[in-house]
Structure 1
Amino acid sequence: MSRPTIPELAKAAQVSISTVDRVLNGRDPVRSQTAEKVLAAARQIGFHGVRAIERRLERDKPVIKFGFLLKQSHRRVYQMWSEVLTEATDAFPDAHGRAIVRFMDDLSPDKAAEAIYSLSREADVIGIITSDHPQVNHAVDGLAAEGIPVVTMISDLSTASRAAYVGNDCVKKGRTAAWFIAGLNANGGKVSVFVGSHRYLAQELNEMGFRSYFRESAADFQMLETIATLEEPEIAYEATRRLLRTEPDWVGLYVAGGGVTGVMRALREDGGPVAKRLIVVAHELTNDTKAGLAEGLITVVLSHPAKLLAETLVRAMAEALDAGRAATLSQHILPFDFYTATNI
């Protein structure tokens, strides 16, 4: 059998013979999408120059410095995100990616803005999770004007200058937390929600969905005042202890922000009837929340699909660098997983 020819490859790839020639010999630039089409066709028909095309594509890949600004370095959930985002950057097929991960131990808005500006001096594009505040938005606006796109992950910002959002439908997530708590409590009772800060749009929307479900579908439950933990386990610990002492009808807790380890510690220490019947819904599957599920301290964990989110975020960041992209916000709404003691 004769080997496939260049004209046959051009026909299979639905491009011109001159385009195939440029891909094979590298004399002139070819759009990466076109080169990928030629490579796929070459593999399909068994073209002898597959390795040459692969080398050309590898050589022509851009180098992109992906900057990721995460929250507190001491929290395991952000250590996990650092690892997953670095892996997704290394595996990104369309560029030679370099992950630059920075953490914000001080979550105040002025420090967050400083951290954003600092990272912009190292990165081509930035992915962030931070609070929604005028100082933060001003920093994002400034970077957008300089051609450095900012993509939000997990929690969005209100500025129109961010290039994309990658995360869950947060209202739906809050309503799902309420559905679990209501469904697992036959007689109603008091329910509460902990947020890390009211400045995180994701957590505000989680709370909104949580409250709206009980208003609409579970009138036997009474909503307690929302508690902000400032993402600190010690504050969550003290708040949980106080509610265990003062609210004998407390039946459900939704931990929409940080501090879940403090909640677990309080429940473990108390061990009373309220603690034993309390339905706790938390976010993100980590070693800590896995332990909480296994011990029966947490009932359900609603979690971002970590690998999918990281891959989607990296691609959205790369696309935001494309000068020809439409100047509109790119929304990537991902499904969320749920875990119980039976499926961890």
Structure 2
Amino acid sequence: MKRRPTIPDLAKLAGVSVSTVNRIINQTGSVRQPTRERVLRTAEEIGFYGLGTIEHSVRKGRESHRLGVLLQQGGRTFYRNLGEALANEARRYPDGQIDLALEYLDDLSPDKVAARLIALGDTCESVALVAAQHPVVADAIDSVIARGIPVAGLIAPLSARGNVSFVGLDNWKVGRTAAWAFDRIVRVPGKIGILVGNHRYRNQEMNESGFRSYFREHNSAFTLLEPLATYESAAAARELVETLLAEHSDLCGLFVSGGGITGALAALRSAPKRKDFVAVGYELFDATRAALIDGTLTMVISHPMETFAREAIAAMIRAKRSGPEGGAQRVALGFDIYTSENV
């Protein structure tokens, strides 16, 4: 009697490991679609007993997704890096084919953001964007959702009448972690300047809220200045920091919670060095890495880029599969912390 082919037989003939065959059969872990297809062809040739299960796994992998992502200003390093991470994740997504429509928007006015969001909703099955909260944007989100296209806010939470998903950091914890650094490092409490990109970015508002809550709870000796908006401009950030340094001789630190950090760094570098001055920034890229190394920045809190891209793609696909009644997908990521000692 002819012996029935086993999993080790299938793995050997298909040129893969036994664990790969098991992942395909059990639909656990990541296996690239070409590998799934090769295992299926081999299973058909040898009459493998689990052919039906493998066929199901391969059919799932053949699923296609048209996803749209709207990011801000392609000239900014952070968004270029994020776009590259999203594109890489879409290419290597193991359970289907992803057609990613990735756009950068230089004009961040609410009307422009709303128009591009609606345009992406016309051609995509699931859409995500980085945007400031605004009634015009919220209305566009509802317009897209009404057509059955799920929408997710990336980095900054967004709200509308419909269910809006979110993938980003726990910004309350981001703010409290930044405050912890000042509390533990600054020897003589003084004034702390705060920069935000725009008061309508809800993540930055939550950063500030967590920041202030920590000091209310643990150390009221610090004076937290009113947050200043850079409107994502390096030139504006430089001017604001220069003014803070000139007007507040007892400024002991700076928390850069939003855009324009390269301008803030330029201002700090051009000023006389202050012994016991602490600066905490947001996002690790070449400029902030260099600032950590030369001591201009004390600490950087950053999105884990690859994890963020992977979770964003997965959340958009889950939202597409679950449909309009499936509810919002919410993914709160852990964040990376960098100092001069671990960059």
Give the TM-score of the pair, scaled to structure 2: 0.84
Structure 1 residue 122, shift from structure 2 partner = 3.0
Structure 1 residue 323, shift from structure 2 partner = 4.2
**Residue equivalent to 1:18:** none
Change (3 A) 1:246 1:5: closer
8 Å Cα contact 1:319/1:325 also seen in 2: no
Q: Secondary structure at the match of 1:298?
A: coil
**Residue equivalent to 1:158:** 159
Query: Deviations 1:224-248 (Å, cap 9, x if unpaired)?
Result: 1110000100000001111111111
8 Å Cα contact 2:145/2:324 also seen in 1: no
User: Where in structure 2 are the equivalents of 1:32-181 lying within 5 Å?
Assistant: 37=25, 49=48, 57-58=57-58, 61-181=62-182
Q: Secondary structure at the match of 2:289?
A: helix
8 Å Cα contact 1:39/1:53 also seen in 2: no
Structure 1 residue 39, shift from structure 2 partner = 6.1
**Residue equivalent to 2:211:** 210
For residues 237 and 163 of structure 1, the distance between their equivalents in structure 2, rounded to whole angstroms, comes to 35
8 Å Cα contact 1:152/1:162 also seen in 2: no
Structure 1 residue 273, shift from structure 2 partner = 3.9
**Residue equivalent to 1:188:** 189
8 Å Cα contact 1:140/1:162 also seen in 2: no
**Residue equivalent to 1:343:** 342
For residues 94 and 69 of structure 1, the distance between their equivalents in structure 2, rounded to whole angstroms, comes to 23
In the alignment, structure 1 segments of 5+ residues that lack a partner are: 7-34
Structure 1 residue 59, shift from structure 2 partner = 5.3
Q: Which amino acid aligns with 1:203?
A: Q
Change (3 A) 1:193 1:93: same
For residues 213 and 39 of structure 1, the distance between their equivalents in structure 2, rounded to whole angstroms, comes to 44
Q: Secondary structure at the match of 2:133?
A: coil
**Residue equivalent to 1:301:** 300
**Residue equivalent to 1:329:** 328
Structure 1 residue 63, shift from structure 2 partner = 1.6
Provide the identity percentage. 36
**Residue equivalent to 2:288:** 289
Structure 1 residue 327, shift from structure 2 partner = 2.8
Query: Deviations 1:127-174 (Å, cap 9, x if unpaired)?
Result: 111011111111111111101111111110122424421111111110
RMSD: 2.6
Change (3 A) 1:132 1:39: closer
For residues 267 and 51 of structure 1, the distance between their equivalents in structure 2, rounded to whole angstroms, comes to 65
Structure 1 residue 315, shift from structure 2 partner = 0.7
Structure 1 residue 54, shift from structure 2 partner = 5.7
TM superposition outliers: structure 1 runs of 4+ over 4 Å: 35-40, 50-60, 323-326
For residues 256 and 232 of structure 2, the distance between their equivalents in structure 1, rounded to whole angstroms, comes to 10
